[in-house]
Structure 1
Amino acid sequence: MATVTLNAQDFEKTITDNELVFVDFWATWCGPCRAFGPTFEAASEANPDIVFGKVDIDANQELASAAGIQAVPTLMIAKKGQIIFKQAGALRAEDLDDLIDQAKKLDVDAAEGAQKA
């Protein structure tokens, strides 16, 4: 599945309605963002069971601010509506693949239960 463009209107619904969502916060003027773009796109094609979204921070400044984005590119991962990862900086393909594997294996419900105990 190709990446989808997200904005303030559909961001929350995308996060809550899908099991696993990877979001790339980026900007057209950002060199590292342009370098990471093809890696993110390739991962989206290789993992059709995951939603891969992109948020242009210039077109969605309020959303980027609400998400606490301070640098681009920033990768955010949500699982079952919970933000489980957020990190600034472009990733290499193998590092992104490793994060995808970790996110798929993470049991959010068990982790949440452990925090409440």
Structure 2
Amino acid sequence: MSTIDLTGESFEKTILENEIVLVDFWASWCGPCRQFAPTFEAASESNADVVFGKVDTEAEQQLAAAASIRSIPTLMVFKKGNLVFNEAGALPPQALDSLIEQVKALDVEKAIAEAKAAQESQDD
């Protein structure tokens, strides 16, 4: 599956209706963004079970602001509608492949329950 362009109108629906979604926030004038694009595209071709979306921060300024994008490229990964990774910077191919495998293996419900329990113990 190749990458899809995400907009303010399609972003939330895409995140909520797919198991795993990787989102690349980029701009055409950004050198590191252009360098990362082939890596992101190649990963999309080899992971048909994952949705790869791109957000052009120039065309989608409100969406970029809502996502608190301060630096590009920024990669966000969602699993079952939950943000599980958010980092600025271009990843090399091996790191992106490793991240995708880790997200596939992640039990997001367990992780959320553990985080909630840890927060509750801190609040006591």
Determine if the TM-score, normalized by the shorter chain, exceeds 0.5. yes
Equivalent residue letter for 2:6: L
Residue 54 of structure 1 aligns with which residue?
54
Residue 11 of structure 1 aligns with which residue?
11
Cα distance in structure 2, aligned partners of 1:50 and 1:108: 15
Q: TM-score, normalised by structure 1?
A: 0.98
Residue 116 (structure 1) shift: 2.6
Q: State the percentage of identical aligned residues.
A: 60
Residue 67 (structure 1) shift: 0.4
Match runs of 1:82-101 below 5 Å: 82-101=82-101
Cα distance in structure 1, aligned partners of 2:55 and 2:116: 32
Cα distance in structure 1, aligned partners of 2:91 and 2:113: 30
Equivalent residue letter for 1:66: A
Q: TM-score, normalised by structure 2?
A: 0.93
Q: CA RMSD in A?
A: 0.5
Residues matched between the structures, number: 117
Residue 39 of structure 1 aligns with which residue?
39
Gaps of 5+ in 2: 118-124
Cα distance in structure 2, aligned partners of 1:83 and 1:97: 18
Residue 47 (structure 1) shift: 0.1
Cα distance in structure 1, aligned partners of 2:114 and 2:89: 30
Partner SS, residue 64 of structure 1? helix
Cα distance in structure 2, aligned partners of 1:49 and 1:113: 25
Give 4+ residue runs of structure 1 displaced > 2 Å after superposition.
none
Bigger Cα Rg? 2
Gaps of 5+ in 1: none
Per-residue CA distance 1:47-84 (angstroms, 9 max, x = gap): 00000000000000000000010000000000000001
Residue 113 (structure 1) shift: 1.4
Partner SS, residue 70 of structure 1? coil
Cα distance in structure 2, aligned partners of 1:8 and 1:116: 29
Partner SS, residue 13 of structure 1? helix
Partner SS, residue 59 of structure 2? coil
